Each structure stands twice: as C-alpha cells, then as structure tokens.
Structure 1
Amino acid sequence: MATGIIHCGACGFTINVKAVSDDSQTNSRRSKMIKLEITSDCPNYQKIAKELTEVDAYKEMFNKLHMGKVYETFAKHSPHPSCPGVSGILKTVEVAAGLALPQTASISITKDN
C-alpha cells in the first residue's frame, strides 16, 4: 500500500490517497490494477473520490499526458487545472504499482515584488 497526503495550497484543502496494488495479478507490462481510496475536504475531490476507485497503473503511467483515467476524472470534476492533487494521486499510484520509490515531493512558490 502507498499513501499520499497532498496539501493543495492557498485553498487550504488536503487530499489523502491510499493506493493498494492487486498483488494476486501478474506484474505484466499490460496491466496492474490499483485500488484507490481518496478522501478530502475539497468538494471537487469528494466527487472525484466517488468515481476514481480503481485504475490501471500502466495505462496511467505510460499514456499520453492528460489521457488517463485520473486526468479524465479530474477534468470532469475540478475547475482548477493547476491543482497539485492530480499529480499527487498519480505519484501515489506509481509507488503502489512498484514503478517508483516513495519520496517526498513538494512545490514551493514565492513571489518577489
């Protein structure tokens, strides 16, 4: 299981992701199903969580940008294209599938006047 906690920024919302690999499935290059449990205080991600309960990690990781199920669901329910939640979900899926090591990722933004 991989866990991701995404603090989205100025909106103050947090997204929690649990991603579990179906280890009974063969680890082929064709398919690796990941069950998702997403919770958030963001009303948009509450909608996303209801719809996005399982993804094929290989289709998400090796598809063209914005063409996987995660991006399609995000585009359907979120009006904010720069939200870091979508990349946080994908990174958590990637780790659960064994395609990446668990590491802390962050975005730090400042503004100089």
Structure 2
Amino acid sequence: MAKAKVMAGACGFTSVIKVTKIGKMKVRVQIISACQDLRSLNEDLAEVDCSRNVFGKMIDSVIYQKASKRLKHPDCPVPCAIIKTIQVELGGAVPKDVIIKIDAHG
C-alpha cells in the first residue's frame, strides 16, 4: 500500500490517501478526510483500472473527471496526490514529496 498525506492549505483540511494494488493495473483508492466532498470520491475510486485514462492528459484523466464532479474547488491538490500515489503503488514512480509554497509578497 502506498500512502500520501495532503495538507491542502486555506480550507484547513488534511487528507490521507491510501492506494492498494488489487490487480496488475487495478487499484483501490481510499481517502480519509474531514472534507465531505473528498470522502465522496471514495465511491467513485473504489476500483480504478489504471490502463484506462488515469495517466493520460489531465482533461482525459478519470481521476480529474471524477474530482471535477465532486469537488467545488479546482485548486484542490488532492487529485494530483491521488495520481502520484497510484504511480508509486504500481511501481511507476518513487515516493517523493511534492511541495507547493505560496508567498503573497513575492
């Protein structure tokens, strides 16, 4: 199982993403979060076939398509974290932190 922790920022929610390989190219995604919208994604991502539009163009990614139907804020970093965690679980990427630092004063 691969796991990611996302501290989303202004919304104040911290989420944990757990990805478990259940087949050669299939995974189960579980999101633990106080955010109800993110938790609703669990229903859509209970079984993800990664051979079908997960890692393609962003507009075609099933992860982003499902997220766009459930999440209110397009700046939520969790969909990206889901894809990165899936990559790690499938052996296509090494576990490496992603950091976004925002400074309003340039």
Alpha-carbon deviation of 1:65? 1.3
Counterpart residue number, 2:104:
111
When Rg is computed on C-alpha atoms for both structures, the one with the higher figure is 1
Return the letter of the residue paired with 2:42: A
Q: Structure 1 segments of 4 or more deviating over 4 A? A: none
Alpha-carbon deviation of 1:102? 0.5
Counterpart residue number, 1:11:
11
For the Cα contact (< 8 Å) 1:34–1:57, is it kept in 2? yes
CA distance in 2, matches of 1:66, 1:5: 24
Counterpart residue number, 1:51:
44
Q: Which runs of 5+ in 1 are unaligned?
A: 26-31
Counterpart residue number, 1:79:
72
Alpha-carbon deviation of 1:101? 0.3
Give the superposed CA RMSD: 1.5
TM-score by structure 1 length?
A: 0.85
For the Cα contact (< 8 Å) 1:70–1:86, is it kept in 2? yes
Alpha-carbon deviation of 1:66? 2.4
Q: Which runs of 5+ in 2 are unaligned?
A: none
State, as a whole percentage, how many aligned pairs show the same letter.
30
CA distance in 2, matches of 1:99, 1:81: 26
TM-score by structure 2 length?
A: 0.90
Alpha-carbon deviation of 1:56? 2.2
Counterpart residue number, 1:101:
94
